[in-house]
Amino acid sequence: MGKKGFREDFLWGGATAADQLEGGYNLGGKGLCVPDMVKYVSREISNGTNTETVSYDECMQMLKADPKTLNCPKRRGVDFYHHYKEDIKLFAEMGFKVFRMSINWARIYPNGDDEEPNEEGLKFYDDVFDELKKYNIEPLVTLLHYETPLNLAIKYNGWSDRRLVKMFTKYAKTCFERYKDKVKYWMTFNEINMMLNLQYTAGGIFMEKSKDSELQTIFQALHHQFVASALAIEEGCKINPDFKFGSMLGISYYYPKSNDPLDVLTAQKANRINWFFYDVMCKGEYPKTALRYMEKNNVCLKMEDGDLDILKNNTVDFNSFSYYKTQCTGVPKEDDKVMAKFFEEKPVDDFHPIQLVNNHLETTEWHVQLDPVGLRVCINEVWDRYGLPVFISENGIGAKDILEGDDKIHDPYRIDFFRSHIKQMKEAVNDGVEVMGYTSWGCIDIVSAGTSEMQKRYGFIYVDADDYGNGTYNRYKKDSFYWYKKIIASNGEELD
Ligand code: BG6
């Protein structure tokens, strides 16, 4: 029996994304990006479900409107653009070894297809990386966390157009050359599997503008992202052979709703959707299940000569995923208890399984079923299938927090959440999995990706801002801040 618990160099930290964190949407030469166009929708209307898709017409109208009349929270983020020194100091106080962040493509190439990069944008990230270095915090950088430049959505219909592959590779190369001595860990695309559900967010695609069928558009855009990711890895390895590249998926694991073999098979098919993405990024090949699905649905991928070799030759070094929840699935029946929908309704099929309530689990008001054991199940399964080191790049709970009169925030629910999940991650480590690190989601409160709310908070650090941008934007330490500090200091030993 080997040593138990987390490895000495375990990367503890937190995760964010530029579009939800930075603000300064029109500062430093930055262009508009896709999430800058998402308006806040009040909870009475959204009921906590996803509100992040924008239509082409809506987008055009917004471009004509006075920006002061629009409440687009991701334009504000939590103003990390001006607070990064203070925020990084707080991360350091918690003992972070790693900070996951993304570079906003539109800060580097404001229109996505510009000839030259924007020096002011490049300099901003230089400053952020230097600040992290001051505290020995390793950056883990996502190149595209939903921030496709808006111009690319309007002019090319986003990732449905092959030309984005070249533009993205150029952007990636610019970042690698500039930051080759400051960043070692990279992820190309955040939750690359989200293209199946959120084409505007993940792909900058206005589906109503596509001449092809919805599925054809989705799979073609995905192919473009797979090739772009592989080409970026190829460029990166030439620039610095020590770079480490990770895949990043949003894993939402499925349990069978009963022991009826048909339900088990349905759940297996649903989980294979995740494995499809890993198969392409880890093994460099399209799995039969995906090819079969495409054929059945008349999807005909347009590939260029050499695409398959590019995928095969440029696979990832580690697998990462975000983990928030699990659900049940099976052969649909009338009395099924269906989960509230996150995404637009799609007909149920192998790639869009029915999502059913699991009676064993507690549900949050944002329709998330909490399942710490599911984290262990996922970590073990990803390891068993691919044998690559695993990184938990997102995990957290969205909840309402109250800033008390004495400037304290008591968030025992968050501590419970992290305790139970980290315990399960530790079990997976003891099961034999090589887990590299863990970055809790939204280590500081940021704007929600799905609902653009501020009231759905994930952080250890409270930011005094509301859904309308009111507030001081002052930072306050929550109880969980002190708790996580203890966890990091003890390398995950002091969990109880
Ligand atoms: C992940 C995304 O899917 O979930 C993040 O990568 C996002 O960007 C997180 O913020 C939580 O979702 P939400 O909608 O609660 O912000």
Q: What is the pLDDT of residues 376-386, one digit of tens each?
A: 999 999 999 99
Q: For residue 297, count CB atoms less than 10 angstroms from its CB and return exposed for 0-12, middle for 13-18, buried for 19 or more.
A: middle
Find the 153 Cα to ligand 1 centroid distance in Å.
Answer: 21
Report the Cα 186 to chain-centroid distance in Å: 13
The confidence score (pLDDT) of residue 144 equals 98
The confidence score (pLDDT) of residue 1 equals 55
**Whole-number Å distance between alpha carbons of 75 and 343:** 22
SS (H, E, C) the chain: CCCCCCCCCCEEEEECCHHHHCCCCCCCCCCCEHHHHCCCCCHHHHCCCCCCCCCHHHHHHHHHCCHHHCCCHHHHCCCHHHHHHHHHHHHHHHCCCEEEEECCHHHHCCCCCCCCCCHHHHHHHHHHHHHHHHCCCEEEEEEECCCCEHHHHHHHCHHHCCHHHHHHHHHHHHHHHHHCCCCCEEEEECCHHHHHCCHHHHHCCCHHHCCCCHHHHHHHHHHHHHHHHHHHHHHHHHHCCCCEEEEEEEEEEEEECCCCHHHHHHHHHHHHHHHHHHHHHHHCCCCHHHHHHHHHCCCCCCCCCCHHHHHHHCCCCEEEEEEEEEEEECCCCCCCCECCCCCCCCCCECCECCCECCCCCEECCCCCEECHHHHHHHHHHHHHHHCCCEEEEEECCCECCCCCCCCCECCHHHHHHHHHHHHHHHHHHHCCCCEEEEEEECCECCCCCCCCCCCCECCCEEECCCCCCCCCCCEEEEHHHHHHHHHHHCCCCCCC
pLDDT digits (tens, 9 = 90+) for 405-436: 999 999 999 999 999 999 999 999 999 999 99
pLDDT digits (tens, 9 = 90+) for 230-277: 999 999 999 999 999 999 999 999 999 999 999 999 999 999 999 999
- Torsion, Cα 419 423 424 429, to 10 degrees, reads 140
pTM of the model: 0.97
Q: Looking at the predicted structure, is the pLDDT value of residue 304 above 70?
A: yes
The confidence score (pLDDT) of residue 51 equals 87
Q: Looking at the predicted structure, is the pLDDT value of residue 2 above 70?
A: no
Q: Looking at the predicted structure, is the pLDDT value of residue 466 above 80?
A: yes
Structure-token match 């937190």, residue found:
14
- What average pLDDT does the segment 121-144 reach? 98
Sign of the CA dihedral running 172, 175, 178, 183: negative
Q: Looking at the predicted structure, is the pLDDT value of residue 45 above 90?
A: no
Does the Cβ of 62 fall within 6 Å of ligand 1? no
**Residue 225 φ then ψ, to 5°:** -70, -40
**Residue 369 φ then ψ, to 5°:** -90, 120
For the question of residue 138 being annotated catalytic, the response is no
**Whole-number Å distance between alpha carbons of 34 and 20:** 12
The confidence score (pLDDT) of residue 49 equals 77
For the question of residue 120 being annotated catalytic, the response is no
Of the listed ranges 187-201, 330-344, 398-412, the least confidently predicted one is 330-344
Of the listed ranges 142-146, 344-348, 378-382, 449-453, the least confidently predicted one is 344-348
pLDDT digits (tens, 9 = 90+) for 146-182: 999 999 999 999 999 999 999 999 999 999 999 999 9
The confidence score (pLDDT) of residue 366 equals 87
Find the 388 Cα to ligand 1 centroid distance in Å.
Answer: 24
Q: What is the best residue among 342, 441, 455, 467 to mutate for testing ligand 1's pocket, by most ligand atoms within 8 Å of CB?
A: 441
- Could you tell me the pLDDT band of residue 122, with boundaries at 50, 70 and 90? very high
Of the listed ranges 94-98, 298-302, 366-370, the least confidently predicted one is 366-370
Calculate the alpha carbon distances from 348 to 125, 263, 265, 399 in Å.
42, 14, 15, 30
Q: What is the best residue among 140, 197, 323, 394 to mutate for testing ligand 1's pocket, by most ligand atoms within 8 Å of CB?
A: 394
Atom of ligand 1 nearest to the CA of 449: 16
- Could you tell me the pLDDT band of residue 342, with boundaries at 50, 70 and 90? low
Atom of ligand 1 nearest to the CA of 366: 15
Nearest CA-CA partner of 229 in 271, 293, 276, 284 = 284
**Whole-number Å distance between alpha carbons of 235 and 284:** 16
